[in-house]
Structure 1
Amino acid sequence: MYQAENSPWSPLDTSSEQQVESQLAGLYVWVHCCQHIFDPAGELVDLNGRSYRQVFSTLMFCTEFSSFDDIADQCDQNFGASEWDAYELYTDDSLPVPVASFA
């Protein structure tokens, strides 16, 4: 599983990002987007020390991986630019070729 944030900074340094992108290139991945809801009882803490919880979309989509930026663009197209804060990628070498795609 790989995680990425919808923020102006990248959680990975450039060399790590390029290495992961080359490992995932051409693989089909499941993309699961979520929103961060600030909650004093949340189990996670952001870089500013605020507690939050993640609320995942009930929908996932499958796509051929090309880059993290491409996945972020697809999340914007499918859910709206301000409707998600992070996504997780799930790989599965045995995923079938999708019968439909969102474009």
Structure 2
Amino acid sequence: MTWKAWKEALEEAVRERNLAEQAFVHASIEYCDFHIYRLQAAEEKVRMILREARSAMGYETNRRLGPPKSPVRQLQSLISLSGQNHDQKAEDE
């Protein structure tokens, strides 16, 4: 694959991941497990494409780029940030 093809594959995987995150954020409680699974699968797809691209370009693939942030922690930080923004808006009014 060319650099452009890897970039397009990665952009598509990131779009899928973002859609999965949005679906989770707007999901009802009874479907949370399904959406968490979907989000984790989308994140793994992004990691897989990055690993394959690095390998195809001759970069060391067993070197870690840093610990990935777990989806649960990312969502917790998003929820706390959105709660802070909501509280701040209420105080401003």
TM-score (norm 1): 0.26
Higher relative contact order (CA 8 A, sep 6+): 1
Instruction: Give the structure with higher Rg (CA).
Output: 2
Q: Which structure features the higher share of strand residues? A: 1
Q: Which structure features the higher share of helix residues? A: 2
